[in-house]
Structure 1
Amino acid sequence: MFFRLFLIFLIVPVIEIYLIIKVGQVIGGVATVTVLLAMSLLGAWLIRHQGGRVLGQIRDELAQGRLPAAQLLDGALIFIGGVLLTTPGFFTDFLGIFFLIPATRRVIKMWLGLWLQAKIARGGFVVRRHF
């Protein structure tokens, strides 16, 4: 796990710097900064819009006495998208927007469900209870 995190923290900044330089060479420095700022503003709007909607759904589910598991997962994915958007760069902005759009978030939730089912089937997921 440590090695994977190390690779992520090593590779992502290299990808970001590379993309910023390449985009800057094509459209210029000021335009590159403008695009990065516009992506951040779009992300902030999506976070506010999607986050507010998910919070309303969580409240509705709780009011009906149901556990809002899907909505909590949506909220977590929106949070992850927001964190990615606060990181300057095109790669993390793309990933952040991907986490914020409802259609792509459904794909992520489906993938997470399949991953979790496979993990449980292999016995790689253990629940420990402490009483």
Structure 2
Amino acid sequence: MIRSKWLWAGLFIIPAVELFGFIYVADQLGAFKTLLIMLTTSVIGLLMMRFEGKKVLQDSRTHMQEGRVPGRTMLDGLCIFFGGLLLILPGFVTDIVGFTLVFPLTRPLYRIFLLKWIEKKMKNGTFTFYRR
């Protein structure tokens, strides 16, 4: 029940913050420049996502060929995927978070939280792995 409350809160709060950001930036720069900035950040973000995604796939292939588990690269891939999704959504806040997820220098911050979350889920038994 608590999870659904957070989901509903996010569904209302995030669009409200993004709308406020649009209105503020459009008031400062004008509507055309605001839309141009949004389109530009989306294109740049998608190009970054594509480039970084290729690097992660290449790194994971190298790890697997060497017989190592590509754990860190898999988490990087998740960060890049979710960052790309946020970059596709219109808005300045989602673009900032999306860029920080895709950008390699800020991605380790998210990886630390993701690892702690996975460790917590594994300890309390709510996160399981299925083998084939």
Taking structure 2 as the reference length, the TM-score comes to 0.88
Q: CA deviation at 1:129?
A: 7.7
Structure 1 segments unaligned to the other structure (5+ residues): none
**What is the root-mean-square deviation in Å for CA atoms of aligned residues?**
2.1
Given the alignment of the two structures, is residue 91 of structure 1 paired with residue 93 of structure 2, yes or no? yes
Q: Aligned AA for 1:124?
A: N
| Per-residue Cα deviation, 1:58-101 (whole angstroms, up to 9, x for no partner) | 11011112111111110011000000011111111111101001
Q: CA deviation at 1:114?
A: 3.7
Whole-angstrom CA distance in 1 between matches of 2:116 and 2:130: 27
Given the alignment of the two structures, is residue 57 of structure 1 paired with residue 59 of structure 2, yes or no? yes
Matched residue, 1:36: 38
Runs of 4+ in 1 over 3 A off after TM superposition: 114-117, 123-131
Between the aligned residues of both structures, percent identity stands at 31
After superposition, where does 1:1-131 map in structure 2 within 5 Å? 1-117=3-119, 119=120, 123-126=123-126
Question: Which deviates more from structure 2 when the two are superposed, residues 3-12 or residues 104-113?
Answer: 104-113
Q: CA deviation at 1:42?
A: 1.1
Question: Which deviates more from structure 2 when the two are superposed, residues 105-114 or residues 34-43?
Answer: 105-114
2:81 partner SS: helix
Question: Which deviates more from structure 2 when the two are superposed, residues 105-114 or residues 61-70?
Answer: 105-114
Whole-angstrom CA distance in 1 between matches of 2:48 and 2:129: 38
Structure 2 segments unaligned to the other structure (5+ residues): none
| Change in 2 beyond 3 A, CA 1:7/1:57 | same
| Change in 2 beyond 3 A, CA 1:30/1:126 | closer
